[in-house]
């Protein structure tokens, strides 16, 4: 008996028998060496894995044996005994191959399927997806996350705050005050003024820096949340949604129109998939990808047509997008239109303050150098050459400080801070209300919205489709009675549902509940076919080969597929789409017995009436059609036939309105905001949903201009379109261009337009709108990138919440403007009058800085945190041109002439009431002895009568308007305020010094 070493036996057992038998041949000997080398490496890794697990076991140490027998089956590289798979390709190779689109290297590696095998993945079932495997893949190939630019430090915000012009002026003033104060009064007492100004400046800078720092952190958080995208992957043969951050190399990712490519990878399956690579290459042309010619997919690009699957080869910083992102410095600071207007206002008021300060400075200098100012002892401060230089410098410095104080009080530094606090607070609260703000300006702009153009599916409705009706020919079939239709028709419908679909059905065994994925419409049809009709929609995929796919999009409103049956070698076409469009393509139809019948005009009208009947019940009607293809050369039929088809059947899908939508629509209408529904459904379905949601009333029929089709709208002349757009409230069968055209027309008419959308087709309108609102659940990444606000729950009620918050932001900022400008102007006038009249300012720079500090922080915070109320929705929208600070024209809600009459009347009545104050200059009781002066009472009465005649009867002569009782009462009430004011003034004690 010939004995061989155990190691040789072990290695030989891993080699297939046919290789061993011919091992003497040079080619086979070379293969054998490679297999032996691989087995040795694999054996070592297996022992290493076992040794790592041994110390963690609580069952004691492993016994040392004389040998270990390990069964290494053929193809073991894809079935590793431990949780950590072996990868036979380097990340550098994968990165360079996809980034450079190196097809030759891909060919050398054996193609896409072989690359998947090298990554221990399967193009059909993906990776196994266990926790240990995912962790191992992340350790080896990295995580799908990008390196962020380091966040700005708090110190950088402090330095930015010190760059403010006002702060620089105050610091210069503080240094001068400190220097001259110490020189004049010594170090112990001379630092008071300069030190106080410095302390106030530091407090203002810290408040500003803290606010900006918190705002920056909030933006970083919002940015991270907005980039957390959900994607569909296949793991263990099962479709499942995961976060984009959880994708690993080897994953099989499902792609559909509008999706953003989550990582670099290779195309493994699909038909006619087109990619927008403009984000990477700058080229606007869409690139078609295929397994044979161009299978390379880059992270950050977007799917613009069809659907398919990709194998992930690089993630995170190993992708081309990751390299590009690492070179970009993102600046999250964004100035909103309102902030720009406020900065303009601040600059305007600041210039006024500077002008006043210059005037004060000149007046005070002239008063000082002409000897018109005295010190505390009553001596003249400046006496020509007799006055010392130090005294002159101290006095001039005091004058400059007074002028600087005027500038300080005039500049409303709190306005930008108030806007920041208001928007930051509102954005945080809006997140709780299912609205994620992507652009800061959207908060305030939404408050000015006059029109909302809303999508139907998923926004006004639940987006939970369910098949309600099923028709074959002119007969309705009970969903649960599939035996009512013939077997051949049943098979054709099974093909049409299973093959012409972007959804999937996963059912591991016959007893488990099927897991269905796809769009809401696809899920509803697949669920109906599997559950109600008992179809096996995966069966046609095994017996048929898909040759060409026409993917569904919003313009065509249909999808088609060209197939070859494996057994018959015959070609066939299946179409699915909007029922009226499919009906127009058909010349014959099936009845439930499976008989094909010609479709004459009368029968076409009858089937069309069935479609309208379903649409009137707010059902979305989808049709299925089929045609045989005689020509065997499939290249001729890559453009699918669209005429002469046979109608297989119709299904009606119900998507119920969301709870609370009707109340939300009514709330918008009461607030003066127009609601326009734009949908791809037909006229009847669109009208039924609009009536159900409260956008239309029952008495408005299709002949009314309130409901139009997209083709009708686009065929209007520009003048017609601008004239009729105000009346249009529902646009059915609309294309993306129609939606964009409506937004453009509304903006030209002066409307502030908000648009909701969830699809790639909505992106142009979302970008064109003043405020774009995308859907967070069903919305594509293209739609989200084009929007300003993401509605996280896809609910129109949340859109109304955003509108209320927008109005609240605008109102809160107006409150703060009134609050701060009132104080600033009052302080400015007080200091100006005091400086000109006495040469001194009663309010010092330190005091005014403290007032500003209190206003900027506490005042802004108090007014910025007002919650939106229902009263906000009772006011008309602000619109596009409404000024931030109103000029008082509509303060009483009257015309210009009535307002002028009110002012004139109040002014005269104030003089009448003030006559009573003038009767007693020092006594508080102004009515004492009034009955004794009958002439005073008579003259006062005559004055009032003449004023009434002037206002009510001499309108043309006096250029006045008649006032009603309420307006007369307002005039008398305002004029009567002079009595309590006069009483309070007389209560104030004053010195007895005579003037």
Q: Which of 652, 610, 274, 362 is nearest to 473 (CA)?
A: 610
Distance CA 21, CA 29 (A): 11
In Å, how far from its chain's centre is CA 964?
A: 49
Q: What angle do CA 167, 170, 176 make, to 5 degrees?
A: 145
- What is the DSSP secondary structure assignment for residue 527, as one 8-state letter? H
d(CA 961, CA 951): 7
* Calpha distance 107→293 (Å, rounded): 11
Cα–Cα distance for residue pair 442/338, rounded to 1 Å: 10
Alpha-carbon torsion (256, 261, 262, 266), positive or negative: positive
Catalytic residue check, 601: no
Residues 6+ apart with CB under 8 A from 9: none
Q: Is 545:572 a contact under the CB 8 Å cutoff?
A: no
- CB 754 within 8 Å of CB 454: no
H or E stretch covering 179: helix 165-190
State whether the Cα torsion 920-925-929-935 is positive or negative: positive
Residue with token string 């308007």: 961
Q: Which of 259, 276, 455, 794 is catalytic?
A: 455
C-beta neighbour count of 107 within 10 angstroms: 10
Three-class SS of residue 37?
helix
- Please give the structure tokens belonging to residue 588: 């014959």
Residues contacting 360, CB < 8 A, separation 6+ = 402, 403, 406, 831, 832, 835, 836
What distances in angstroms separate CA 63 from CA 10, 45, 46, 85, one per listed residue?
Answer: 20, 19, 17, 27
In 333-381, alpha helices (H): 337-369
User: What dihedral do alpha carbons 273, 276, 280, 284 form, nearest 10°?
Assistant: 140
Between the CA of residue 805 and those of 144, 311, 665, 791, 800, what are the distances in Å? Answer: 35, 43, 16, 14, 9
Among 737, 768, 785, 680, CA closest to 302: 785
Name residues whose C-beta falls within 8 Å of residue 28's C-beta, 6 or more positions apart in sequence: 19, 22
- Name the phi and psi angles at 629, rounded to 5: -120, 120
Structure tokens at 798: 């949340």
Tokens of 14: 């891993």
Distance, CA of 928 to CA of 908 (rounded, Å): 24
In whole angstroms, what is the distance from residue 774 CA to residue 321 CA?
A: 24
- Alpha-carbon dihedral of residues 459, 460, 462, 468, nearest 10 degrees? -130
Alpha-helix residue ranges (DSSP H) falling in 14-153: 17-21, 26-53, 91-99, 103-108, 112-118, 131-141
State the Cα–Cα distance between residues 72 and 78, nearest whole angstrom: 12
Check residue 374 and report its DSSP letter: B
What does DSSP say about strands 571-578 and 558-565: parallel, antiparallel, or unpaired? antiparallel
Query: What's the rounded Cα separation, in Å, for the pair 147 and 323?
Result: 9
From CA 410, how far away is CA 314, in angstroms rounded? 58
Write out the H or E segment, with its range, that includes residue 85: none
Give the Cα-Cα-Cα angle 621, 625, 629 (nearest 5 degrees): 165
**Which region holds residue 757: left if phi is over 0, alpha if psi is between -120 and 50, else beta?**
beta
Residues forming the active site: 455
């Amino acid at each position: 008996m010939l004995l061989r070493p155990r190691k040789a036996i072990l290695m030989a057992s891993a080699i297939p028998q046919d290789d061993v038998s011919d091992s003497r041949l040079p080619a086979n000997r070379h293969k054998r060496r490679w297999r032996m080398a691989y087995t040795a490496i694999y054996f070592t890794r297996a022992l290493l894995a076992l040794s790592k697990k041994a110390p963690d076991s609580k069952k004691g140490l492993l016994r040392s044996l004389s040998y270990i027998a390990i069964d290494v089956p053929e193809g073991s590289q894809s079935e590793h005994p431990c949780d950590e798979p072996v990868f036979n390709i380097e990340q550098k190779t994968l990165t360079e191959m996809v980034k450079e689109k190196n097809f030759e290297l891909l060919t050398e590696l054996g193609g896409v399927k072989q690359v998947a095998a090298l990554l221990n993945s399967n193009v059909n079932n993906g990776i196994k997806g266990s926790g240990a495997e995912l962790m191992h893949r992340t350790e080896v190939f990295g995580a799908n996350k990008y390196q962020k630019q380091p966040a700005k430090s708090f110190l950088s915000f402090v330095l930015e705050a010190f760059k403010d012009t006002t702060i620089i002026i105050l610091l210069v003033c503080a240094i001068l005050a400190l220097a001259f104060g110490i020189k004049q009064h010594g170090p112990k007492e001379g630092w008071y003024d300069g030190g106080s100004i410095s302390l106030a400046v530091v407090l203002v800078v810290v408040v500003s820096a803290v606010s900006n720092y918190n705002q920056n952190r909030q933006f970083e958080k919002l940015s991270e949340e907005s980039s957390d995208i959900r994607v569909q992957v296949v793991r263990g043969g099962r479709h499942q949604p995961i976060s984009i951050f959880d994708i690993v190399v080897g994953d099989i990712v499902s792609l559909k129109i509008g999706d953003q490519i989550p990582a670099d990878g290779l195309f493994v399956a699909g038909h006619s998939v087109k990619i927008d690579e403009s984000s990477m290459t700058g080229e606007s042309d869409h690139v078609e990808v295929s397994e044979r010619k161009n299978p390379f997919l880059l992270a950050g690009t977007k799917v613009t047509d069809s659907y398919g699957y990709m194998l992930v080869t690089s993630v995170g910083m190993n992708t081309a997008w990751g390299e590009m992102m690492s070179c970009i410095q993102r600046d999250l600071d964004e100035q909103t239109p309102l902030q720009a207007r406020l900065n303009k206002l601040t600059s305007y008021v600041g210039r006024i303050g500077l002008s006043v300060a210059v005037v004060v400075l000149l007046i005070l200098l002239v008063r000082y150098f002409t000897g018109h100012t005295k010190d505390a002892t009553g001596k003249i401060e400046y006496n020509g050459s007799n006055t010392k230089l130090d005294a002159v410098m101290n006095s001039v410095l005091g004058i400059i400080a007074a002028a600087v104080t005027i500038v300080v009080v005039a500049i409303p530094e709190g306005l930008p801070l108030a806007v920041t606090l208001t928007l930051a607070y509102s954005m945080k609260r809006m997140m709780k209300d299912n609205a994620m703000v992507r652009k800061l300006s959207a908060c305030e702009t939404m408050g000015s919205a006059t029109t909302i153009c809303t999508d139907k599916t998923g926004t006004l409705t639940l987006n939970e489709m369910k098949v309600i009706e099923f028709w074959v020919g002119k007969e309705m079939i009970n969903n649960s009675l599939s035996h009512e239709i013939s077997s051949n028709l049943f098979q054709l419908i099974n093909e049409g549902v299973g093959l012409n679909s972007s959804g999937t059905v996963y059912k591991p065994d016959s007893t488990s509940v099927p897991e269905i994925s796809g769009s809401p419409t696809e899920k509803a049809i697949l669920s109906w076919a599997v559950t109600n009709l008992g179809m096996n929609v995966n069966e046609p995929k095994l017996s048929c080969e898909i040759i060409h796919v026409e993917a569904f999009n919003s313009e065509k409103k249909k999808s088609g597929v060209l197939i070859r049956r494996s057994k018959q070698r015959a070609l066939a076409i299946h179409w699915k789409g909007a029922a009226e469009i499919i009906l127009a393509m058909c010349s014959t139809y099936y009845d439930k017995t499976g008989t094909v019948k010609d479709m004459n005009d009368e029968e076409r009208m009858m089937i069309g009436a069935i479609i309208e009947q379903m649409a009137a019940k707010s059902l979305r009607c989808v049709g299925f059609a089929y045609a045989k293809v005689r020509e065997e050369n499939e290249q001729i039929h890559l453009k699918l036939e669209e005429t002469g088809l046979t109608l297989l059947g119709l299904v009606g899908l119900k998507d119920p309105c969301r709870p609370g939508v009707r109340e939300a629509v009514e709330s918008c209408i009461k607030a003066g905001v127009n609601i326009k529904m734009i949908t791809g459904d037909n006229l009847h379905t669109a009208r039924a949903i609009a009536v159900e949601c409260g956008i239309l009333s029952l008495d408005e029929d299709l002949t009314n201009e309130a409901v139009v089709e997209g083709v009708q709208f686009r065929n209007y002349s520009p003048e017609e379109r601008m004239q009729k757009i105000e009346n249009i409230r529902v646009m059915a069968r609309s294309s993306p261009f129609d939606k964009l055209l409506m937004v453009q027309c509304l903006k030209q008419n002066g409307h502030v337009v908000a648009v909701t959308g969830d699809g790639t087709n909505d992106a142009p309108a979302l970008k064109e709108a003043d405020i774009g609102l995308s859907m967070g659940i069903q919305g594509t990444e293209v739609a989200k990138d084009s929007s300003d606000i993401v509605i996280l729950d896809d609910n129109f009620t949340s859109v109304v919440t955003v509108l209320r918050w927008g109005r609240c932001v605008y109102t809160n900022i107006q409150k703060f403007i009134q609050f701060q400008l009132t104080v600033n102007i009052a302080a400015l006038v007080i200091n100006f009058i005091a400086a000109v009249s006495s040469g001194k300012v009663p309010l010092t720079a330190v005091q005014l800085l403290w007032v500003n500090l209190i206003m900027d922080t506490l005042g802004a915070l108090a007014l910025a945190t007002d919650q939106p109320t229902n009263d906000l929705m009772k006011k008309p929208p602000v619109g596009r041109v409404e000024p931030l600070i109103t000029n008082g024209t509509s303060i009483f809600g009257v015309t210009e002439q009535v307002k002028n009459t009110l002012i004139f009347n109040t002014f005269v009545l104030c003089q009448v009431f003030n006559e009573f104050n003038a009767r007693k200059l020092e006594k508080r009781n102004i009515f004492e002895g009034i009955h004794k002066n009958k002439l005073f009472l008579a003259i006062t009465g005559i004055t009032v009568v003449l004023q009434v005649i002037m206002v009510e009867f001499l309108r043309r002569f006096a250029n006045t308007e008649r006032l009603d009782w309420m307006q007369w009462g307002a005039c008398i009430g305002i004029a009567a305020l002079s009595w309590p004011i006069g009483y309070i003034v007389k209560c104030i004690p004053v010195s007895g010094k005579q003037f």
